[in-house]
Amino acid sequence: MLKYTIRRILGMIPMLLLISIVVFLLAKAMPGDSLSGEIDPNNTDPEYIEDMRERLGYNDPLPVQYFNWISNFVQGDFGKSTRYKMPVSDLILEKLPNTVFLGVSSLLITYILAFSMGIIAGRKPYTIGDHIIGGLNYLGLAIPSFIAGVFAIYIFSFNLGWIPYSGSVDIRLTQGTFEYWMSRIHHVIMPAIVLGALSTASYTQFLRNDIIENSRKDFVRTARAKGTPTSKIYNVHILRNSIIPLVTFLGFDIATIISGAIITETIFTYPGIGQLFIDSVFNRDYPTLMAITMMLSVLTLAGNLVADILYGVVDPRIRLD
């Protein structure tokens, strides 16, 4: 297992290098100074720009520039935001907890909903309950997240008044108190459901089909024959087998959440990385844009790595090749 894990991690390094090169080249293709953000975009004096370019090393050959950029990046120096006039790393650190909170809540809600619905549908397939859950799944898969989000705000915030429609917390509350955390949960619940809708639907579908398939297998018949209660067969014997493939989805969820967060955070004006990303596009804050692009690419790659490794953990056959 250790050998397999190490091999996977080593296999990721060339990918990481290639992605960083692509991001670097994209950053170079962006208008202005999108690597460091040191050049003031409002100062159009050609002498100033030429002076700064020379000082920042933009007249060096590309490989040297790449090497300087990547070594700074690895050390946590992501350049300076042209809009906020502060290091991008500080900006990201400020917003990151919100996005992580959103992502984790979304995963939790996904797991809770998918497990309960999948078990209900899988245990009594082709009944009314199963069909209702099947229909909900279909909607979850087909309705785009931004439409679901817009309708959620319209119905639950404006017409019913159950949830707030923007922000991540009630700013009047002091940090750390019980009410503060309740308010954060209150703010995150709807975006998290919308963000997790797609994975919830696919998990439920998968779990249902897997439970039905497993319930026809020999070990279930044996368990029945020796008099094991039905609930125990389903909750212990079958569920354990059906959970295994689900574990591997976790890694891919990271990628889904990253792309989803950009949309969800914009709809719910939730201050996180996704919103910072969109804002930086509109404000032409290219250093921030490229730093977040690089960060999200690395995270996606890490998600794939986690998926690969988990796959090896649950399915020993994978480790051999």
Partner 1 sequence: MVNVTADSNKPQEKTVNMSPWAIARRKFFRNKLAMISSFFLLAIMIVSFLAPYITTQDISRVNIGQMSLEPGGEHILGTDKAGRDVFTRLLYGGRISLVVGISCTALVILFGTLVGSIAGYYGGNIDTMLMRFTDFVLTFPFLVFVIVLNTILFGIVDGLWVLIAAISLLSWGGVARIVRSKILAEKENEYILAAISIGCKPSAVIIKHLLPNVLSTIIVQATILFATLIVAESALGFLGIGVPQSIPSWGNMLTASQEADVLRNKPWIWMPPAIILTVTILSINFIGEGLKDALNPKSFR
Minimum CB–partner distance for residue 300 and partner 1 (Å): 5
Minimum CB–partner distance for residue 267 and partner 1 (Å): 8
18 binding partner 1? (CB under 8 A): yes
Pick the stretch among 126-134, 207-215, 229-237, 252-260 that binds partner 1 (CB under 8 A): 252-260
Q: Given the complex with partner 1, which of 141 and 236 has the nearer CB atom?
A: 141
Using CB under 8 A as the binding rule, the residues of this chain from 114 to 153 that contact partner 1 are 138, 141-147, 150-151, 153
Minimum CB–partner distance for residue 274 and partner 1 (Å): 9
29 binding partner 1? (CB under 8 A): yes
* 3-class SS string, the chain: CHHHHHHHHHHHHHHHHHHHHHHHHHHHHCCCCCCCCCCCCCCCCHHHHHHHHHHHCCCCCHHHHHHHHHHHHHCCCCCECCCCCCEHHHHHHHHHHHHHHHHHHHHHHHHHHHHHHHHHHHHCCCCHHHHHHHHHHHHHHHCCHHHHHHHHHHHHHHHCCCCCCCCCCCCCCCCCCHHHHHHHHHHHHHHHHHHHHHHHHHHHHHHHHHHHHHCCCHHHHHHHHCCCCHHHHHHHHHHHHHHHHHHCHHHHHHHHHHHHHHHHHHHCCCCCHHHHHHHHHHCCCHHHHHHHHHHHHHHHHHHHHHHHHHHHHHCHHHHHC
Minimum CB–partner distance for residue 3 and partner 1 (Å): 22
Q: Which of 246, 301, 313, 318 binds partner 1 (CB under 8 A)?
A: 301
Using CB under 8 A as the binding rule, the residues of this chain from 159 to 218 that contact partner 1 are 165-166
154 binding partner 1? (CB under 8 A): yes
Minimum CB–partner distance for residue 133 and partner 1 (Å): 17
263 binding partner 1? (CB under 8 A): yes
19 binding partner 1? (CB under 8 A): yes
Binding site for partner 1 (CB under 8 A): 15, 18-19, 22, 26, 29-30, 138, 141-147, 150-151, 153-154, 158, 165-166, 255, 258-259, 262-263, 266-267, 277-278, 281-282, 289-290, 292-293, 296-297, 300-301, 304
